[in-house]
Amino acid sequence: MTNFTLKVTRLGFSLLQSVSPRMAGKAAFRLFCLTPSRRPKGEKAKAAHAAGAAKLASAERFVLPLAGGGRAHAYRLNGGALGRRPRYLVTHGWGSSGEYMADLVETLVATGAEVIVVDFPGHGRAPGRSLHMGMAVKAIAAAERRFGAFDATLGHSFGGAALMVAASGMLPGTAAVLPERLVLIGSPSEMHWLFKDFGKMIGLAKPAQQALENEVRCVAGRRLEEFDAGRAAGAIRRPVLVVHAEDDKEVGAKHARRYAAASNDVRLHWANGFGHRRIVSAAPVLEAITDFLASATSGKDAEIIPLFDLSARRTSL
C-alpha cells in the first residue's frame, strides 16, 4: 500500500471497529485475502515473467475446479508418456505465478519427470482476486485428483507452506496430498505472524484483531494456530528438503530452523545470498533439489552438501 492508501485504510478500520469489531475483523480478512495485481512490477520482473512464459509455452493447460467453488490453473510438461516416470507438483508464492517458477520447472523436466505447475486462485492464469490457505490446499488436492499421486511436491514461500498443510491433511473435508518427498523453498512454518503484522499495519485493536483471526476458523474450519506447517513436518514422516537464505527479508530464517527442529526427516540447506526471490532460480539450489529428488530413485538418501555461502558476494548479485 502507498502511504496515502494506508492512511485511508487505517482511518476506515478505526471508524468501523469503533462501531463493530466483528465487522472490522471480517472486512480485514477480505482485505488480507485480496490478491495483488498480476502485472509484473519493474523491468526485472517483466523480463523474468516473459522468460518464464516462454519456457511454459509448450505446456498443456488445464482448469482445476476446486471443491466448494473457485478454480485454479495448471500447466503440465512431459505428460502423457508411456511407462512409469516421476510426477512432481510445483507451487508458487503469494503474488507470484508459474512463470516465476519456470527455471525450477525446466530443471525438473530435464530429468524426464512429468511436471505439474499450479497457479493458485487469483494468480497467473487462474481467475479470481482472493486466496487463502484453504483455497490453496484445495487447489493442491484438485491437482492430485486430475493428474494422480505425486512423487514429490515443491513449493516456494506461501506455496511451500500450503504443500505442508496439504500433506498433513490439516484442512477439514479435504484428503491429504502426501507425496514421497517435499521441497520447501523460503517457506513460512506458520502464518500467525502474518496476521499479527497485518493487523498492526491497518491499526486493528485487540477485539477486531481477534475477530480477524476467528474468520480463519469460519472459512477454513481450523483455528489460525492450527495451521502450523512446522509441526506438520514432524508428523508426516517423509523426507523434506528445506532451502532458505538467512538474508531472506520476507520470511525470516527462524522458519527454516523451526522446520529443521521438527523432525530428523527434515534437511536444512542455507542458500545465503539469494534472498527470498532469486533463490527459486539459483543454480546451486536447483542442483541441491535434483540431488535430493534423485536420491529417492537410488533407494537411499544421498549425502547433500551444504550450499555455498554467497553472503560475501551479495553486492555483486
| pLDDT value at 307 more than 70 | no
Q: Do 291 and 272 meet the contact criterion of CB atoms below 8 Å apart? A: no
Q: What's the pLDDT band for 80 if we cut at 50, 70, 90? A: confident
Quick one: average pLDDT of 68-86?
Answer: 89
For position 82, what pLDDT does the model report?
Answer: 63
pLDDT surpassing 70 at residue 271: yes
SS3 labels along 97-108: CHHHHHHHHHHH
What domain range is 162 assigned to? 40-191+227-316
Give the residue from 178, 210, 225 where a domain finishes: 225
Question: Which is higher by pLDDT, 308 or 245?
Answer: 245
Residues 103 and 139 in one domain: yes
Q: Indicate whether 167 and 201 sit together in one domain.
A: no
Q: Determine the pLDDT at residue 298.
A: 59
pLDDT category, 31, cuts 50, 70, 90? very high
**5 and 118 both lie in a single domain:** no
Residue 37's Cβ-count burial label (10 Å; 0-12, 13-18, 19+) is exposed
Same domain? 16 vs 47: no
- Angle, CA of 65, 68 and 71, to the nearest 5°: 25
Mean pLDDT of 226-238: 93
CB 93 within 8 A of CB 271: no
Q: What confidence tens digit (pLDDT) does each residue in 151-162 have? A: 999 999 999 999
pTM of the model: 0.92
Which pLDDT does position 118 carry in this prediction? Answer: 98
Whether residues 10 and 55 share a domain: the answer is: no
Q: Assess contact for 282 and 253: CB atoms under 8 A.
A: no
Which residue in 300, 274, 276, 299 sits closest to 287, CA to CA?
Answer: 274
Q: From 84, 85, 89, select the one nearest 104 (Cα to Cα).
A: 89
Compute, in degrees rounded to 10, the torsion defined by CA atoms 121, 148, 163, 100: -60
Are residue 20 and residue 48 in the same domain, yes or no? no
Number of domains in the chain: 2
Same domain, 126 and 218: no
- Whether 175 and 257 map to the same domain: the answer is yes
Q: Is the pLDDT of residue 299 over 70?
A: no
Q: What is the mean pLDDT of residues 84-112?
A: 97
User: Are 282 and 246 found together in one domain?
Assistant: yes
CATH number at residue 99: 3.40.50.1820
Same domain (yes/no): 76, 29: no
Instruction: Say what percent of the chain tops pLDDT 90.
Output: 88
Q: Which of 225, 248, 276 is the last residue of a domain?
A: 225
Q: Taking all residues of the chain, what is their mean pLDDT, rounded to a whole number?
A: 92
Please answer whether residues 120 and 92 qualify as being in contact, where contact means their C-beta atoms are separated by less than 8 angstroms: yes
45 & 116 share domain: yes
Q: Are residues 25 and 44 in the same domain?
A: no
Distance, in Å, from the CA atom of 208 to the CA atom of 32, rounded to the nearest integer, reads 14
